[in-house]
Chains A and B, each alone.
Chain A
């Protein structure tokens, strides 16, 4: 039996409705309990901010394209190196650190759960292998369906049940968690070097549109009762004027799920651009945020850009090619047969660039203009907008108008004309931040019942204690202290053990992988469909029998069983 008592904690737990009470937290054998024996280990939180472990609902940390970002970038590996020390292996990398680098740095910031934003089903084993080497966090994998031919057929047939059959089978087969659509239809078009520019454009060689793919996937997702909603990277990422596509997309879903959103739109900053060229690009964050404000069925994440060097990586292959033709830097691309695409290029976001400055402002506008923090998660689309180690600075910017004004002074002057950032004086509270960095994620991902994102009795004892006393701190003025506090916890606990103390990893705990086993009735089993099996063997380059991910890859898997309506 292993027990810990955390005394004197300033707890904010939005899911439980605890808004900043000084209280004790009892932990036994990895779970939050009512009370512990008098002899157990005691941690004095000293009135410091104590939150459930952080959850990142959209990050790129493991898998084929993340590793390609490392593989092609020795210069980035040199930019962040630590030797083996204590319980820690060595690390390398700054924008795309090694798996241990990611894991230790997230842990130091109090994060205990990460959702890898994009896993190609065919390359799932790779993601799971890297999950096993990311020891300080529990992991989930959003699974890519944007160019999935089997799904396309179901969409073409307007057959939601069949679409659900394909999605359900695939998630179970690859030990995936949620449905990710990246530039739906566009990644398939990129197979022959094309892209789509509207959600109503027909996908080449397929009689369907992105709207059809999104709509059918949403309905199939709800039909399957998946914990998470469809997780969408809209078409037209990064294009001036793309806010129209985003608004049209926001209008697709009706409210189909009482427990969570029906559609999760990721890195919306990259999708809120006005204007028509790079010359006249402007922010349309107000329109996008207004739309979100009227749609409780939608949750977004920011995709904040922060200045400096980073690596872009996405399944959106055609977008990366466009970016390459702008930057003329190295360009990698990796299309995955019958499923999706991907691309990787390094970028540098400069505060002297009007475009980059406007991007920076749009992310902040979104977070400040979306009224309900449960509808806007704090992300950088790590590492696309910036490496996740920048999160604390973003928190500072959202909590302090003064800091924002100072920063706004440093960026390109056009930012003031082309965005509304300078006119917003909202300052987010510690509770808003707690929602946007853990509670909101737990709800959006549907993992509250798995004991994530809160400190209710029975919850997983994932806890972050930050060196800041909210009742004695004015973030508006003391933003530097707030930033410092979020950069390094006093203690990070995972599964009831102190895993990180003052930035040093104390110990690792075997991590978990949450995956969905969508139980389907016999008549929905695609493996019994001769058409499915025949097409698979003709057009995939691996045998069906070697495609499905073996249990060896999810030794510590948490199987989330779902059942169709």
Chain B
């Protein structure tokens, strides 16, 4: 018994490739076509890797419990908490994210997504200076110049180049690949740097300086620039600026290479202003390389519900937003949260140690189909159907294009949407009865 399912959406990264072909044999995934290594592993490693059911830490033991017991526990912990943190969400579909935002509102909690540790600083910059962007197909059809800045695209978003930029078919070029220029800016000579027409290697933390220098050259104030800026020779900066000005359509993509380093959102602000200035001469756009499949969806949903893209604190009834205070890392590092709901993400692997220590100290409820680093830290883990495999819903691509993922496998697992709705309804009832 073999089945082929076409046009499947890959739920791995923000590229949301929607041309995946899945082969099923005997109800299990047996083959994946068109996906990159990361996406293919996501599909192929699914079988046999999921938790069978909810597990709960009781003293020095892990015990299996039923979904009913798990939901009872979650309802109790969340409705009794004073400062609950509801974190993660980037692997959930928007339908679940919306319930999450309303749940935070209901219990006076904090809702934050993985945004705060990936492109949170990009959003802070956008809130200062805006965001000249576009959809990826606009780049694919028009761009003659592409910059990857602080993004090792070939390893982090492997199909970005072939679907949307350098190697993609373009309406306005006969032979797009030959006519396009790719500039890579990074502190390391990554595999992405190896395909660049121009590789700009900068000193760690030198992004802000290099961007400032490029802006000065674009504004014809190149005279003030020293011979070397953060490890980059002036001659190269002038050459890069000239390529940018000569472009008919340029697209800058930036990764967490410049959101995580010193300067944080100020780096991004500088990059955006560089692009805004280039638009006085020619057409340029700039876009963050969003990591998780639906991290952008979480920003969209939280925004239309609360007004803010992430880090929303409902402890005073109204929606309050102050990244640096209401962001997950800060709430945990300050040991403020007294309960945590972690939705399909892995702070155990990705948060600073002090945050993980605090998660181990408080009731932490983890929704994740698979065992992760956070499994070892949590009190309760609830496995759900996997979004994009046996659960479907809306996800937003890194450029804001909403796509409905496909459910192509039968499942015995409940979806996170269903469970969250149940938790929400029950807590609402608890609150109303009180």
Contacts and interface: CB of A to CB of B under 8 A. Distances in A.
Q: Direct contact between A and B in the complex (CB less than 8 angstroms)? A: yes
A191 B132 contact: no
A550 interface: yes
Given A331-B130, A541-B401, A70 B304 contact: yes
Interface string A79-121: 0011110000110110001111100000000000000000000
B66 interface: no
> Which of A71, A76, A321, A332 gathers most chain B CB within 10 Å?
A71
B141 interface: yes
Contact of A72 (B126, B283, B314, B404): B126
A133 interface: yes
Interface string B403-417: 110000000000000
Contacts, number: 182
Interface stretch (A218-226, A236-244, A335-343, A483-491): A335-343
A546 B304 contact: no
Contact of A542 (B169, B248, B319, B403): B403
Contacts of B331: none
Interface string B303-321: 1111111000010111101
B401 A335 contact: no
B299 interface: yes
Interface string A107-147: 00000000000000011111001100100000000000000
B285 A542 contact: no
B373 interface: no
Contacts of A125: 394, 402-404
Nearest to A69: B303
Contact of B402 (A72, A89, A123): A123
A93 B305 CA distance: 11
Given A98-B307, A125-B404, A543-B18, A193 B283 contact: yes
B311 to A, nearest CB: 10
Interface in A525-555: 538-543, 545-546, 550, 552
Contacts of B186: none
Contacts of B306: 77, 90, 92, 98
Contacts of A70: 303-304, 307
Contact of A89 (B7, B105, B126): B105
B230 interface: no
A545 B279 CA distance: 35
Contacts of B401: 122-123, 541-542
> Which of B126, B130, B142 gathers most chain A CB within 10 Å?
B130
Contacts of A99: 304-305
A126 B300 contact: yes
B152 interface: no
Given A205-B172, A331-B276, A71 B133 contact: no
A76 B307 CA distance: 9
B87 interface: no
Contacts of A329: 130
Interface in B83-110: 94, 98, 102, 105-106
A193 B282 contact: yes
B283 A191 contact: yes
A333 B138 CA distance: 12
Contacts of A90: 105, 306, 314, 317-319
A541 B137 contact: yes
B166 to A, nearest CB: 14
Nearest to A70: B303
Nearest to A344: B130
B285 A333 contact: yes
A73 interface: yes
B424 to A, nearest CB: 12
B128 interface: yes
Contacts of A100: 305
Interface string B383-406: 000000000001010001111100
A334 B135 contact: yes
Interface in B246-304: 248-249, 276, 279-280, 282-283, 285, 299-301, 303-304
B254 to A, nearest CB: 16
Given A126-B396, A334-B400, A335-B138, A192 B249 contact: yes
A345 interface: yes
Contact of B305 (A62, A72, A89, A191): A89
A335 B164 CA distance: 15
A383 to B, nearest CB: 14
Contacts of A540: 137
B282 A332 contact: no
Nearest to B8: A546
B299 to A, nearest CB: 7
A97 B304 CA distance: 8
B318 A83 contact: yes
A510 interface: no
A67 interface: yes
B163 interface: yes
Contacts of A82: 318
B9 interface: yes
B318 A345 contact: no
A155 B256 CA distance: 44
Contact of A130 (B169, B172, B304, B319): B304
B7 A545 contact: yes
A77 B322 CA distance: 12
A541 B163 contact: yes
Contacts of A97: 307
B251 to A, nearest CB: 11
Interface of B: 6-7, 9, 18-19, 94, 98, 102, 105-106, 123, 126-138, 140-142, 163-164, 169, 171-172, 248-249, 276, 279-280, 282-283, 285, 299-301, 303-309, 314, 316-319, 321, 394, 396, 400-404
16 contacts: A71-B299, A89-B305, A90-B314, A99-B305, A101-B307, A123-B401, A125-B403, A129-B94, A192-B283, A193-B282, A331-B132, A334-B400, A336-B138, A538-B171, A542-B403, A546-B9
